[in-house]
Amino acid sequence: MYGQELAKVYEIFYRSRGKNWAAEAEEVTRLIRERMPQADTLLDVACGTGAHLTTFRESFSQVEGLEIAPPMLETARQRLPGVPLHEGDMRDFALECTFDAVVCMFCAIGYVGTVEEMRAAVRAMADHVSPGGVLVIEPWWFPEDHIEGYVAGDLGHEDGLTVARISHSTLQGRATRMEVRFLVGDASGIREFTEIDVLSLFTKDEYTQAFLDADCSVEYLPGAPTGRGLFVGIRR
């Protein structure tokens, strides 16, 4: 999952469906500043290729990132020289500082396997938020939103690459099991690879309780940025 092949084409197919990392980061920055106008430092947990951080660093004097997948982290380091980027697991990471804001975007928290692991991740993130600071987490779908057998397809063209992506989702216990197949074509030919994503279907109440038990207030804002909404909390 999130190997070298995917890191090379990750953003191409999402841009083809209209994803705008800059606009998402700007909206999250607005939400943060509404709650803490003086916020000036930010940690992006599960920062991926650094696409959100590219915009966050325009609004915050200090930004850092955390990512578990080395190929994604390497892409982010190439994009963001000079930005501290840490390899680590959201469930148990420990940096030596706190931030005015900690964010975890694009449903990355869904990749933890159990409620206990989700709670550990929320606690680890909250422990890196300064008192009065803001924690923002974008969830995966809630259980009632799962669509059995859902199929999605995307086709993107950029920089001499054509990328086709087809996914098929099924229920696996309390998780969405998404089989994703890619075809990538360039001047050298066509190659194919498959990724299996398993994303946990936590309930709204489970996320809410995780925030409260991590000493954060919590509100759920439905909708943006990707239809799944955002949980936003203030560290007590």
Cβ contact 64:90 at 8 Å: no
| Host H or E run for residue 6 | helix 4-16
Chain position carrying tokens 């216990």: 173
Asked if residue 98 and residue 70 are part of one domain, the reply reads yes
Which CATH number does the domain housing residue 193 bear? 2.20.130.10
Peptide bond into 225 cis (omega under 30): yes
Q: Are residues 72 and 105 in the same domain?
A: yes
Residues 228 and 129 both lie in one domain:
yes
Runs of H (alpha helix) within 17-157: 21-35, 51-59, 70-79, 115-126
Cβ neighbours of 32 (radius 10 Å): 24
Tell me: do 103 and 154 sit in the same domain.
no
Q: 103: closest CA among 66, 141, 75?
A: 66
Query: Residues 56, 158: one domain?
Result: no
Same domain membership, residue 218 and residue 131 = yes
pLDDT score recorded for residue 48: 97
The mean pLDDT value for 136-142 works out to 98
Do 87 and 38 lie in one domain? The reply is yes
pLDDT tens-digit map of 202-236:
999 999 999 999 999 999 999 999 999 999 999 99
Chain CA centroid to CA 187, Å: 32
For the stretch 56-104, pLDDT in tens is 999 999 999 999 999 999 999 999 999 999 999 999 999 999 999 999 9
Is 35 in the same domain as 137? yes
**Structural domain total, the chain:** 2
Please say if the pLDDT value at position 2 is more than 90: no
Domain that holds residue 166: 145-200
- Tell me: pLDDT of 1 over 90: no
159 DSSP assignment:
T
Same-domain check for residues 102 and 174: no
Q: What is the CATH number of the domain that holds 25?
A: 3.40.50.150
- Same-domain pairing of 92 and 173: no
Do 137 and 208 share a domain, yes or no? yes
Same-domain pairing of 110 and 48: yes
pLDDT surpassing 90 at residue 4: no
